[in-house]
A = this chain, B = another copy of it.
Amino acid sequence: MLGTIKKTGEILQLFDRESPEWGVSEVADILGYAKSSTHDLMSSLAEIGLLQQTEKGRYRLGWKLVDLGQALVATTELRAVARPVLEELVAEYRESTQLALMDAGMVLYLDRISGTRPIRVVMTDMGPRVHPHCTALGKILLSAQPWSQIEEIVTRNELIRMTENSITDLEQLKIEVARVREEGFAYDQEEMMSDLCCVAAPVRDYTSRVVAAISMSVPAYRFQRSRNELRRAALDAAGQISRRLGYYR
């Protein structure tokens, strides 16, 4: 770790919403460096745009930070970020794994990896879009939206009955969405297709917004005894992806 960079980090760390402006002397005082070195550091940072100087000679964060931040956000591709995490998940549990987001009121699959067990869930025979109300992914993605929007989506599509377990009642959905919001994960217990169960967990970006969800799909007979472990794994993987998208805490 280069000392100059370490100090750069310490200096930048000082600037936040509460104290967006710092003088050289203040910074030197707080960090315990010589005033002159601190000046060298800060004026250099200003030259490369990471800081800027006010007309009174004090320093603020520089606009290059916004530029670079935007470049980062623009080039962060969800699928590319999620892929290695999903692969790890499949390697460990050998169950089929999905990445999806909400698009135009439907669950849109971005990526799917098949499990490696002899009896496994193969998703390829269903289209790229499914109804949200009867999938674990969909419940996660729905629960990230205000109820008014959920209502709109769901009344537009109707709460189609796919199996005898499907949620077809608006009140029932409201309760389930509240539960998902509360607990942070969702199950699909043979609600879209009999013998098919899923666990899903939310993927968040650097603004804490739920931008996607991942899920593991498991044959029902295997699901009952392993769902706690699979839930933990899904939540953990979703957390990893979120962190790579800039989400923290």
Q: Which residues of A contact B (CB under 8 A)?
A: 1-2, 4-6, 8-9, 12, 15-17, 20, 40-41, 43-45, 47-50, 55, 60-75, 84, 206, 246, 248
Contacts and interface: CB of A to CB of B under 8 A. Distances in A.
Nearest to A47: B1
21 contacts: A1-B47, A2-B4, A2-B40, A2-B41, A5-B8, A5-B47, A6-B44, A9-B49, A9-B50, A15-B68, A17-B75, A20-B71, A55-B84, A60-B72, A62-B72, A63-B248, A65-B72, A66-B73, A66-B206, A67-B69, A69-B69
Nearest to A19: B75
Contacts of A61: 68-69, 71-72
A40 B6 CA distance: 12
Contacts of A17: 71, 74-75
B206 A45 contact: no
Given A65-B72, A66-B72, 12 more contacts: A5-B41, A6-B47, A8-B8, A12-B64, A15-B71, A17-B74, A60-B72, A61-B69, A62-B72, A66-B69, A67-B69, A69-B69
Contact of A4 (B4, B15, B75): B4
Contacts of A48: 5-6, 8-9, 12
Nearest to A43: B1
